[in-house]
Chain A
Amino acid sequence: MDFNDTPKEAEFRKKVRSFLEANAEKRSTLAAKPKGESGSSISSAGAPETVKGEDAAKLALQDAKEWQRKKADAGFAAILWPKEFGGYGGTPIEQVIYAQEEHDYFVHSGYFEIGIGMLGPTMMAWGKDEDKKRFLPKMITGEEIWCQLFSEPSAGSDLAGIRMKAEKDGDEWVLNGQKVWTSGAHFADYGMIVARSDPTALKHKGLTYFYVDMKTPGIEAKPIKQISGSANFNEVFFNDVRILDSQRIGAEGDGWKVSLTTLMNERLAVGDPPGLDFDQIFEASKEIEVEDGLAVKNSEVRQKMADWYIQSRGLQYTKYRSMTALSKGQTPGPELSISKLVTASKMQDVSSYALDLMEMSGMVHQDKNPILKNLFQNGYFFSAAMRIAGGTDEVLRNIIAERVLGLPQDERSDKKLPFNELPSGKN
């Protein structure tokens, strides 16, 4: 039992390090954040922000594209992709190692993750050769950015409940409807979209998958302002958007199957930064006074912090277990499925409790002279979103119960009826 790289992994890590050292700036040595990045590290832990100064946003995007180009030239832009599409042809453990190392540097990579991590692999699996040749190389170099148009106002946890209409008209399809929670829609060049092509078919059978040029007339992206005040997502409206049948990926009616490829490629969360965690409240507790002295000396505070410590480190060591499997070329067990479920609630508990410790000062949330960098105020808002985004706590518990423990699936009345006969509570 040890935490060491294998010789091959060590060699790869060395290569990555020397690339990063030569081309990027390390976090610890920088006082300020890179151009255009705003807000705390918490609000930027998710998708790139939609609303900020327009010049700053442009600068950040330009920076990101330059960085992506460098990565692509060095071969690190898509570690898992086969070499024929410009990838590194690497292993999952190499991808994890790269992510670990890059995390120490001030670079933008969020813009490209959805494309390279999820949409590219979908195109490789289901797309036509000419599309692969046309789109995949530019996805890697960052010249073209992609977004994922899946969720809708009435298709959240129940993703197959998609209502976006796709109607065939000769060689074309006409799209009408609304997508939501789309990160990057306002700067993306292309998107992949699932739409309902046959409302009279069963729910999972009447869907078709396409790619769209985001500049097509009739597409409009609007940022969604969140409770945190920032905007990491968009709603995207489709109004008589005409696309070619050649933009279809997979057969008509196979949209759900193709979507599963996209969803299965959701990035292994091994390299993710922990965000607001035990370390932050532990440090804060050394500065805040409670009734009997410093919070860190108060017995109740210590008991609480111990809970967060075991969750925090328990997750870290769980990641090490998954990495061990990857390192041996095995598929990790299901243990990582607990990660977001634990992280989001922990962050909410930590933030809320830290605000309690601050007493009346916990009410203050201002950019000018922020108290403890607004860490806990920001975390209080961000964590509420985190418990929902990317699978709600409830959906994640269902997934653990069904896929890990093998408990029965929920009874589903929606699998047996044509989509247009399902109760919807609307219309």
Chain B
Amino acid sequence: MNFDFSDDQKLLRDQARKFLQDKCDRKSVRSILEDHKQNYDVDLWSQISKLGWTGTAIPEEYGGLGLGMLELCVIAEELGRALAPTPFSSSIYIFAEFLKSYGTDEQKKKYLPLIASGEKIGTFALSETNGKPKPSNIKALHTSGKLNGSKNPVSDGESADYIIVAANSDSNSNYNSLSLFIIDRSDPGVNISNLDTIDPTRPACTVGLENVACERLGDEGSGWEMIDNIFNRAAVLFSFEQVGGAQVSLDEAKNYSLERFAFGKQIGAFQALKHKMADMYVKIELARSNAYYGAWALSTDSNELPIAAAGARVSASEAYNFASQENIQIHGGVGFTWEYDCHLFYRRSKLLSLNIGSIRQWKENLISNLEKRNIV
């Protein structure tokens, strides 16, 4: 049994943690939170790109480091711990994974080196309206090589240089009519307008499309299938980010409960709080173990991936939501002040648990994949 990261991977984790403690402290996170003009920490982005993090799991022939998905999981957990305000998830977990899985060799050569070096940023545009994206509410249309429609919200859209857009090639939208297209955001038909989000360190925008030039990614009509696969891959990476944030939420709750005195003792000595923190620990350990299993499935291209990814995603979303909520609760009154950091985690946890589909959706994915496996 070797259900753990290797010593090299743990070394990478320690280095990443140290680096982020130094370069991505709370002050720099807050500078993005409070400055509406900045979408992400440009300095941090350029430094982690120079370290090669952006190219971790991109093959060497396309300008990456050619390490595996396990190394990327390690990085994801550290980014989550540090609340890194960067478009890493959009560009690396999603855009790069789409290209790696479905790009032609030519497309890989064109886009991946720029993504690996951090020089360019990519993202993905699916949602258009309030509620679950599905054939009936995807109106973006691809006709004679041009895209028209409006995507809302698009994570990191304003920072992105390239956007993968999900659009129908038939106005009679169904599960076989969706395709994916890559667009260049400098196209004059792209109209970006920024949206405020529950976590301003992770921005989103509306992307309007008016006769935008595009190139198709992957097979025509297989859009939903590709999205499922890439979201499964991204879900594992997100789950590590979430476990990282959840762990820090617990650590900070614990530290505060040891510093704060009430009724003549440390508040961390009260069972009501001890048991609450024990429950946080339980959820985080379950999430960590589920995330590990997801990492194994992801790194071995196992056909267990849909189940492993959904399990990791649900478990990690629930753990982080719970830990960040109860972190505020344990802090009491100061917990809901702007000054204390609790809200940074509260914002991030909710945003992460929505970004590639809510807990509800992933629970449904989990059970439907278990049904499929049973039939097979």
A binds B: yes
Residues on the B chain within 8 Å of A318, using CB: 285-286, 289
Residues on the A chain within 8 Å of B287, using CB: 314
Q: Mask for B1-23, Cβ within 8 A of A = 1, else 0?
A: 11111100000000000000000
Task: Say yes or no: is A323 at the interface (Cβ < 8 Å to chain B).
Answer: yes
Whether A309 lies near B370 (C-beta < 8 A) is: yes
Tell me which of B55-63, B145-153, B359-367 binds A. B359-367
The complex places the Cα of A320 from the Cα of B293 at a distance, in Å, of 10
Whether B257 lies near A407 (C-beta < 8 A) is: yes
Residues on the A chain within 8 Å of B285, using CB: 314, 318, 335, 338
Task: For A325, give the chain B residue with the smallest CB separation.
Answer: B4
Residues on the A chain within 8 Å of B318, using CB: 310
The complex places the Cα of A315 from the Cα of B293 at a distance, in Å, of 11
Whether B275 lies near A394 (C-beta < 8 A) is: yes
Q: Mask for B344-376, Cβ within 8 A of A = 1, else 0?
A: 000000000000000010111011101100000
Residues on the A chain within 8 Å of B288, using CB: 335
The complex places the Cα of A276 from the Cα of B364 at a distance, in Å, of 22
Residues on the B chain within 8 Å of A407, using CB: 254, 257-258, 268-269, 273-274, 277
Q: Mask for A279-302, Cβ within 8 A of B = 1, else 0?
A: 000100000000000001001001
Task: Say yes or no: is B279 at the interface (Cβ < 8 Å to chain A).
Answer: yes
**Which of A4, A317, A408 has a CB less than 8 Å from the CB of B2?**
A4
Q: How far is the CB of A377 from chain B (nearest CB, A)?
A: 25
Task: Say yes or no: is B320 at the interface (Cβ < 8 Å to chain A).
Answer: no
For window 257-285 of B, CB contacts with A under 8 Å fall at 257-258, 265-266, 268-269, 271, 273-275, 277-279, 281-282, 285
Task: Say yes or no: is A272 at the interface (Cβ < 8 Å to chain B).
Answer: no
Tell me which of A15-23, A154-162, A164-172, A395-403 binds B. A395-403
Task: Say yes or no: is B311 at the interface (Cβ < 8 Å to chain A).
Answer: yes
Q: How far is the CB of B302 from chain A (nearest CB, A)?
A: 11
Whether B292 lies near A398 (C-beta < 8 A) is: no
Whether B279 lies near A397 (C-beta < 8 A) is: yes
Task: Say yes or no: is A230 at the interface (Cβ < 8 Å to chain B).
Answer: no
Residues on the B chain within 8 Å of A5, using CB: 1
Task: For A278, give the chain B residue with the smallest CB separation.
Answer: B370
Q: How far is the CB of B145 from chain A (nearest CB, A)?
A: 40
Interface centre among B1, B250, B299, by most chain A C-beta atoms within 10 angstroms, is B1
Whether B289 lies near A321 (C-beta < 8 A) is: yes
Task: Say yes or no: is A99 at the interface (Cβ < 8 Å to chain B).
Answer: no
Residues on the A chain within 8 Å of B273, using CB: 407
Whether A317 lies near B293 (C-beta < 8 A) is: yes
Task: Say yes or no: is A14 at the interface (Cβ < 8 Å to chain B).
Answer: no
Q: How far is the CB of B53 from chain A (nearest CB, A)?
A: 20
Residues on the A chain within 8 Å of B94, using CB: none
Residues on the B chain within 8 Å of A313, using CB: 289-290, 293, 311
Residues on the A chain within 8 Å of B368, using CB: 302
Task: Say yes or no: is A28 at the interface (Cβ < 8 Å to chain B).
Answer: no
Whether A311 lies near B2 (C-beta < 8 A) is: no
Whether B290 lies near A310 (C-beta < 8 A) is: yes
Whether A1 lies near B4 (C-beta < 8 A) is: yes
Task: Say yes or no: is B29 at the interface (Cβ < 8 Å to chain A).
Answer: no
Q: How far is the CB of A10 from chain B (nearest CB, A)?
A: 11
Whether B367 lies near A305 (C-beta < 8 A) is: yes
Task: Say yes or no: is B75 at the interface (Cβ < 8 Å to chain A).
Answer: no
Whether A405 lies near B254 (C-beta < 8 A) is: yes
Query: Known contacts being A317-B290, A324-B4, A408-B269, is A310 close to B311, with CB within 8 Å?
Result: yes
Residues on the B chain within 8 Å of A409, using CB: 269
Q: Mask for A382-412, Cβ within 8 A of B = 1, else 0?
A: 0000000000001011101110111111110
Whether A411 lies near B269 (C-beta < 8 A) is: yes
Interface centre among A9, A335, A405, by most chain B C-beta atoms within 10 angstroms, is A405
Query: Known contacts being A1-B3, A397-B274, A404-B281, is A303 close to B290, with CB within 8 Å?
Result: no
Q: Give chain B's interface secondary structure class.
A: helix
Whether A302 lies near B292 (C-beta < 8 A) is: no
The complex places the Cα of A5 from the Cα of B3 at a distance, in Å, of 11
Whether A3 lies near B266 (C-beta < 8 A) is: no
Residues on the B chain within 8 Å of A315, using CB: 286, 289
The complex places the Cα of A306 from the Cα of B285 at a distance, in Å, of 17
For window 314-345 of A, CB contacts with B under 8 Å fall at 314-318, 320-321, 323-327, 335, 338, 341-342
Task: Say yes or no: is B88 at the interface (Cβ < 8 Å to chain A).
Answer: no
Range class of the A interface residue count: 35 or more
Task: Say yes or no: is B39 at the interface (Cβ < 8 Å to chain A).
Answer: no
Whether B311 lies near A309 (C-beta < 8 A) is: yes
Please count how many residues in chain B sit with their CB below 8 Å of the partner chain's CB atoms. Answer: 49
Interface centre among B3, B275, B277, by most chain A C-beta atoms within 10 angstroms, is B3
Query: Known contacts being A310-B286, A317-B290, A320-B1, is A302 close to B314, with CB within 8 Å?
Result: no
Task: Say yes or no: is A129 at the interface (Cβ < 8 Å to chain B).
Answer: no
Whether B278 lies near A397 (C-beta < 8 A) is: yes
Task: Say yes or no: is B40 at the interface (Cβ < 8 Å to chain A).
Answer: no
Task: Say yes or no: is A2 at the interface (Cβ < 8 Å to chain B).
Answer: yes
Q: How far is the CB of B94 from chain A (nearest CB, A)?
A: 23
Query: Known contacts being A302-B363, A407-B268, is A400 close to B282, with CB within 8 Å?
Result: yes
Task: Say yes or no: is B83 at the interface (Cβ < 8 Å to chain A).
Answer: no
Whether B3 lies near A320 (C-beta < 8 A) is: yes
Task: Say yes or no: is B295 at the interface (Cβ < 8 Å to chain A).
Answer: yes
Whether B364 lies near A299 (C-beta < 8 A) is: yes
The complex places the Cα of A407 from the Cα of B295 at a distance, in Å, of 31
Whether B286 lies near A410 (C-beta < 8 A) is: no
Whether B366 lies near A309 (C-beta < 8 A) is: yes
Residues on the A chain within 8 Å of B258, using CB: 407-408
Task: Say yes or no: is B296 at the interface (Cβ < 8 Å to chain A).
Answer: yes
Whether B278 lies near A405 (C-beta < 8 A) is: yes
Task: Say yes or no: is B315 at the interface (Cβ < 8 Å to chain A).
Answer: yes
Residues on the B chain within 8 Å of A307, using CB: 314, 363
Whether A296 lies near B286 (C-beta < 8 A) is: no
Residues on the A chain within 8 Å of B314, using CB: 306-307, 310
The complex places the Cα of A307 from the Cα of B286 at a distance, in Å, of 11
The complex places the Cα of A414 from the Cα of B282 at a distance, in Å, of 30
**Which of B274, B292, B364 has a CB less than 8 Å from the CB of A317?**
B292
Whether A401 lies near B364 (C-beta < 8 A) is: no
Whether A321 lies near B277 (C-beta < 8 A) is: no
Residues on the A chain within 8 Å of B281, using CB: 338, 400, 404-405
Residues on the A chain within 8 Å of B6, using CB: 1
The complex places the Cα of A338 from the Cα of B285 at a distance, in Å, of 8
**Which of A306, A317, A400 has a CB less than 8 Å from the CB of B3?**
A317
The complex places the Cα of A356 from the Cα of B363 at a distance, in Å, of 21
Task: For A96, give the chain B residue with the smallest CB separation.
Answer: B1
Q: How far is the CB of A406 from chain B (nearest CB, A)?
A: 8
Task: For B2, give the chain A residue with the smallest CB separation.
Answer: A2
A interface residues with partner B (beta carbon < 8 Å):
1-5, 9, 93, 282, 296, 299, 302-303, 305-307, 309-311, 313-318, 320-321, 323-327, 335, 338, 341-342, 394, 396-398, 400-402, 404-411
B interface residues with partner A (beta carbon < 8 Å):
1-6, 70, 250, 254, 257-258, 265-266, 268-269, 271, 273-275, 277-279, 281-282, 285-290, 292-293, 295-296, 299, 310-311, 314-315, 318, 360, 362-364, 366-368, 370-371
Query: 6 tightest A-B contacts by CB?
Result: A314-B286, A306-B363, A401-B274, A317-B289, A408-B269, A397-B278
